[in-house]
């Protein structure tokens, strides 16, 4: 149990690093698109920024995860390992985008009170935080199940 706790803590540190990278890229892209195209592009800009940030962070996450968090399966080809990591991450991206779309689409766009108290940055930040929490649990569980070497 102690090893699992240490592994979860390392996973958390890697996750925070990748979240910061993902968030900075996502927020920057979202702001650029909204500034160029205006308010009607907010939902599309949020998802586009999130997808680009997520893509960069997945590559960094793969490198850091197998350097510091998970023990590799010796018999798994690295290309297959990366492909599996990528497939699991794309599913995570789908969850991420769905949650962000729900938060900035039907929830934020549909509730006038939220629009009055939250600007686009705060709405995106809240959506991203919720999506990150859900996807983080999904990522840890699936990577542990499918990619990590099983204990003898």
For the segment 10-68, what is each residue's pLDDT rounded down to a tens digit?
A: 999 999 999 899 889 988 888 888 888 877 788 788 878 888 888 899 999 999 999 99
Cα 26 to Cα 54: distance, rounded to the nearest angstrom: 8
Tokens representing 60? 């960094």
Q: What is the pLDDT of residue 96?
A: 86
pLDDT band at 79 (very low <50, low <70, confident <90, very high): very high
Cα 68 to Cα 77: distance, rounded to the nearest angstrom: 19
Q: Average pLDDT in the 101-105 region?
A: 90
Helices (H) and strands (E) in the chain, counts: 6, 0
Q: Average pLDDT in the 90-111 region?
A: 90
Residue 8 pLDDT exceeds 80:
yes
Q: How far is CA 138 from CA 2, 17, 54, in A?
A: 21, 17, 15
Q: What is the pLDDT of residue 50?
A: 81
| Cβ–Cβ under 8 Å, residues 53 and 23 | yes
Residue 152 pLDDT exceeds 70:
no
Q: How far is CA 53 from CA 6, 9, 19, 109, in A?
A: 27, 23, 9, 23
Q: What is the pLDDT of residue 26?
A: 86
Beta bridge partners of 72: 148
Q: What is the pLDDT of residue 91?
A: 95
As a whole-number percent, the residues of the chain with pLDDT over 70 amount to 98
């Amino acid at each position: 149990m102690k090893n699992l706790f240490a592994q979860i803590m390392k996973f958390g540190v890697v996750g925070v690093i990748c979240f910061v990278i993902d968030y900075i890229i996502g927020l920057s892209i979202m702001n650029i698109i909204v500034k160029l195209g205006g308010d009607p592009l907010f939902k599309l800009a949020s998802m586009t920024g999130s997808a680009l940030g997520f893509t960069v962070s997945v590559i960094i996450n793969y490198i850091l995860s197998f350097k510091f968090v998970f023990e590799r399966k010796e018999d798994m080809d690295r290309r297959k390992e990366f492909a599996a990591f990528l497939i699991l991450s794309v599913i995570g991206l789908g969850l991420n985008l769905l949650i962000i779309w729900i938060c900035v689409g039907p929830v934020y766009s549909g509730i006038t009170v939220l629009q009055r108290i939250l600007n686009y940055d705060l709405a995106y930040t809240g959506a991203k935080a919720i999506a990150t929490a859900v996807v983080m649990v999904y990522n840890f569980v699936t990577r542990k199940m499918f990619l990590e070497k099983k204990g003898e």
